[in-house]
Structure 1
Amino acid sequence: MQSKHVSLSPANLLFPLALVLFEFAVYIANDMVQPAMLQVTREFMVNTSWVPTSMTAFLIGGAVLPWLTGPLSDRIGRRPVLLFGVAYFVLACLASYLVHSIESFIALRVLQGMGLCFINAVGYAAVQEAFEETAAVKVTALMANVALIAPLVGPLAGAALVEIAPWRSCFLVIAAMSFIALLGLIWKMPETVKPSHDKLPLSQMGRDYLRLFSQRRFVLSALCIPLLALPLMGWIALSPVLLVQDLGMSTLQYGMMQLPVFGGLIAGNFALVLLADRWPLGRSVFVGMGPIVSGLLLMLAGVLFAAEPVWLMVAGMSLMSFGEGLSFGVLYRFALMSSPVAKGTVSASMSMLSMAGYALGIEIFRLAYMLGGMAGFAACSVLTALLFVQLARSTVPQAMAERAAPADYLPPELQTQNS
């Protein structure tokens, strides 16, 4: 174990960099594969309704193991659990050469999605423990920028790769990146908890989880994260169908349309890094609500009224993603620190809530699209954003007040709640 880092330097950023390379590889296992899904459905001779199911299965996998990986890392240490998880993910990617039906492919996607269980429940907990609060928020935002290259370049790289190589080659590239991340983590990952040699009884784990999920503040704080991210997750899952099938774009054009969307997310994260020392933690969440809601309303208006809706759709999603970038790092920290329970367990619970929320939410987005087309997708995005705003306005002020945030940084109607 070591003391927490107060400031950022190249030396103490090597561990987060190795972790984010693994995170990048896991995320690109979704974003790079989505444009290849049309080729996958053709090979297995099924219809395109299976396209978003690949992402749903991947996210279900991300909700399977955090209940164990988080508490296990509290007991035996973050380092051995994370190193095992990276090695497992490498093997799961290579296993794509063994599948020969859509059913076995979807099952493998669940196994690959388990790689997510080690990022949030173990890796991010270690980062939060290795840095002081403001530095941890900055590192989270910087890591998000690197990880966001996955949805930025993933569709482009996937679309380009499947033009010249079989879709399974995507997983070979991902496995190679994950192996490099494994070497970096072996080299630079510190141990941030004191390992215990005591047994980890399931009854104790159950009591910890019951205690945590009975805390209303934690549950509401954690639910802010999937509600914030779902419109963008729905876009990632359905944009191959929206842009390629409905609007007739090529796969490369589809990939180019992702650049401004994820560029907005990167810009929002950089803005958070720059403002973290100037604003009290939490203010950026309220500022981000404006572009989130207005951007999704712009997308809905484009779908309903524009002759060529793609430009307003992309502009609206870009605004929304900028607001998400301003908010995510702060909301993650607030949720993690909202309970005194061991942080591996808290982080695991957050991961399970998020992955389950994403999986359920994407299925709701899919049903909205099937029932209402592009308008159904856009309307579902707006409703999700409004739910996020309502929930965040009830949880963020308390976290700000605990950190002695000046009252005048809150919206006027919320100042009276914290006076």
Structure 2
Amino acid sequence: MQNLPKVQLNRTTLLFPLALVLFEFSVYICNDLVQPAMLAITQDFGVSSSWAPSSMSFFLLGGACLAWLLGPLSDRIGRKKMLLAGVIFFVICCLLIIFTQSIHQFLAFRFLQGIGLTIISAVGYAAIQEIFEERDAIKVMALMANISLIAPLLGPVLGAFMIEHVSWHWGFIGIAILAALSWFGLKAKMPNYQLSVTKKPLSYIWDDFKAVFRNRRFLGLALSIPMVSIPLILWIALSPVILVEHLGLTNMQYGLAQVPVLGGLIIGNIALINIIDRLPLGKTVMLTLPLMLLGTLILIAGVIWKDYLLWSLIVGMTLISFGEGCSFSVLYRFALSSSPVSQGTVAAAVGMIMMVAFFIVIELVRITYESHGMWAYALTCFALIALWFTFPRRIVKNIMQERLAKGEF
């Protein structure tokens, strides 16, 4: 593969990543804004509120199904063509979902919308790394992360406001408009670089994935990522049912309750950026996972002493989300570095493991929540974080020791 000419980061070249982050924001808020509306949507379709978490699980499953294909395909036909086609597909899905007549049709389109997650990770992020110099690419990714974090913080509040005053259909219309604006920005400002790739049969892709999944260190690290991130994913999926239906909060109170929880994630990411250069890589994970475990114990305490359930949920989940912000990026970096196979293939494998794990656990908790209530949610969060202290902790500790032996900080 040839080396492409790099561009310097300036006001002109920054317009491409800004257009890309607008699409990323559209995809993320497509989930965070819709979750508060799920109780109204299930009522419109005449089904139980237990279907509410499925909106998120099918969205994430859609993000997993084509990760293995879209990265290699964009190598062949070009990142720009693939990215523009992906944005159009996402816009169409957002518009067609407003015409659905059943929960099954709605979930089918949520699955298709989730493919936008793969377009971002397998195509958009790869383009950033190819176009910009190394340090500029890091700056661009950091900027995009900060902007995209607005979606989980702003989405629940906007979603609650939408349900109070307008129909849920308008949320998808607004998201489609945002994504369409990003398409025009990408078409005008994204460089049209084309990689020269030797065309090989699809069996080569399969061989690469087999090599990745046979790597035990990769599997341990890749599985550790959903362990630390699923509790917050479960919260986003189940909190409409927990807070509104069971605890009797209004839609606006529900949205406001999300602010400290999702704000903890933002603060965790900011803390990671500020201290990562002063600590050995992996140290933030070792320091904050006990904090996440404490958060799960606070959740369980709230289930036992029901008078304090609301505050236990908010405090416990804020600790969990803060810990995730301090550890997720480091674990992701370790996973990508754990295999000698091409980064695109490894990143796709991580994405597939994450999304499939999200789907399975959300659906299992959705089903058990009907019979066991808050115990299903709290014990699942505790089990996931406690499980991290087994083989994933040993792997991270070994990596830190190996880096220390090599003189790496």
Number of the residue aligned with 1:375: 375
Contact 1:74 1:344 in 2 (8 A): no
Q: Distance between the aligned counterparts of 1:187 and 1:338, measured in 2?
A: 37
Q: Deviations over 1:90-124 (max 9, x none)?
A: 11111123312222111111111111111222223
Question: Which stretch shows the higher mean deviation, 106-115 or 178-187?
Answer: 178-187
Q: Distance between the aligned counterparts of 1:306 and 1:102, measured in 2?
A: 32
Q: Deviations over 1:340-364 (max 9, x none)?
A: 2222222111111111011011112
Residues 14 and 388 (structure 1), Cα distance of their counterparts in 2 relative to 1, 3 Å cut: farther
Q: Distance between the aligned counterparts of 1:320 and 1:131, measured in 2?
A: 34
Output the amino acid matched with 2:178. Answer: M
Q: Deviations over 1:2-33 (max 9, x none)?
A: 4498xx87666554443332222111111111
Deviation at 1:144, TM superposition (A): 3.3
* Aligned length in residues: 406
Output the amino acid matched with 1:50. Answer: W
Residues 289 and 88 (structure 1), Cα distance of their counterparts in 2 relative to 1, 3 Å cut: same
Residues 358 and 141 (structure 1), Cα distance of their counterparts in 2 relative to 1, 3 Å cut: farther
Q: Distance between the aligned counterparts of 2:391 and 2:142, measured in 1?
A: 22
Number of the residue aligned with 2:210: 210
What secondary structure is seen at the aligned counterpart in 2 of 1:63?
helix
Q: Deviations over 1:121-167 (max 9, x none)?
A: 22234445567888766755553332222121111111111222221
Number of the residue aligned with 1:163: 164
1:62 is the counterpart of 2:71: no
Deviation at 1:255, TM superposition (A): 0.7
Question: Which stretch shows the higher mean deviation, 184-193 or 301-310?
Answer: 184-193
Q: Distance between the aligned counterparts of 1:118 and 1:88, measured in 2?
A: 10
Deviation at 1:311, TM superposition (A): 0.8
Output the amino acid matched with 2:280. Answer: P
* TM-score relative to the length of structure 2: 0.90
Number of the residue aligned with 2:331: 331
Q: Distance between the aligned counterparts of 1:119 and 1:338, measured in 2?
A: 22
Number of the residue aligned with 2:230: 230
Deviation at 1:323, TM superposition (A): 0.7
Alignment of 1:5-404 (within 5 A): 14-128=15-129, 140=141, 142-190=143-191, 194-196=195-197, 198-401=198-401, 403-404=403-404
Q: Distance between the aligned counterparts of 1:203 and 1:339, measured in 2?
A: 19
What secondary structure is seen at the aligned counterpart in 1 of 2:52?
helix
Q: Deviations over 1:71-100 (max 9, x none)?
A: 223344433322221221111111123312
What secondary structure is seen at the aligned counterpart in 1 of 2:308?
coil
Deviation at 1:395, TM superposition (A): 2.5
Q: Distance between the aligned counterparts of 1:234 and 1:369, measured in 2?
A: 11
* TM-score relative to the length of structure 1: 0.88
Residues 3 and 202 (structure 1), Cα distance of their counterparts in 2 relative to 1, 3 Å cut: same
Deviation at 1:366, TM superposition (A): 1.7
What secondary structure is seen at the aligned counterpart in 1 of 2:249?
coil
What secondary structure is seen at the aligned counterpart in 2 of 1:339?
coil
Q: Distance between the aligned counterparts of 1:138 and 1:396, measured in 2?
A: 26
Contact 1:141 1:269 in 2 (8 A): no
Contact 1:67 1:349 in 2 (8 A): yes
What secondary structure is seen at the aligned counterpart in 1 of 2:278?
coil
Q: Deviations over 1:195-217 (max 9, x none)?
A: 32x43422111111111111112
Can you give the 5+ residue segments of structure 2 that lack an aligned partner in the other structure?
Answer: none
Contact 1:144 1:269 in 2 (8 A): no
Residues 210 and 268 (structure 1), Cα distance of their counterparts in 2 relative to 1, 3 Å cut: same
Q: Distance between the aligned counterparts of 1:132 and 1:117, measured in 2?
A: 24
Q: Distance between the aligned counterparts of 1:192 and 1:382, measured in 2?
A: 46
Q: Distance between the aligned counterparts of 1:289 and 1:408, measured in 2?
A: 23
Question: Which stretch shows the higher mean deviation, 113-122 or 320-329?
Answer: 113-122
Q: Distance between the aligned counterparts of 1:225 and 1:14, measured in 2?
A: 31
Q: Distance between the aligned counterparts of 2:19 and 2:399, measured in 1?
A: 30
Q: Distance between the aligned counterparts of 1:123 and 1:130, measured in 2?
A: 11
Deviation at 1:230, TM superposition (A): 0.2
Contact 1:296 1:381 in 2 (8 A): yes
Q: Distance between the aligned counterparts of 1:192 and 1:211, measured in 2?
A: 29
Q: Distance between the aligned counterparts of 1:36 and 1:74, measured in 2?
A: 38
Number of the residue aligned with 1:412: none
Percent of pairs with identical residues:
49
Contact 2:84 2:186 in 1 (8 A): yes
Q: Distance between the aligned counterparts of 2:404 and 2:396, measured in 1?
A: 13
Deviation at 1:331, TM superposition (A): 1.7
Contact 2:164 2:251 in 1 (8 A): no
**Cα root mean square deviation, aligned:** 2.6
Contact 1:140 1:329 in 2 (8 A): no
Q: Distance between the aligned counterparts of 2:267 and 2:200, measured in 1?
A: 43
Contact 1:142 1:270 in 2 (8 A): no
Q: Distance between the aligned counterparts of 1:135 and 1:286, measured in 2?
A: 29
Q: Distance between the aligned counterparts of 1:247 and 1:221, measured in 2?
A: 37
What secondary structure is seen at the aligned counterpart in 1 of 2:277?
coil
Question: Which stretch shows the higher mean deviation, 306-315 or 262-271?
Answer: 306-315
Q: Distance between the aligned counterparts of 1:106 and 1:217, measured in 2?
A: 35
Q: Distance between the aligned counterparts of 1:387 and 1:117, measured in 2?
A: 28
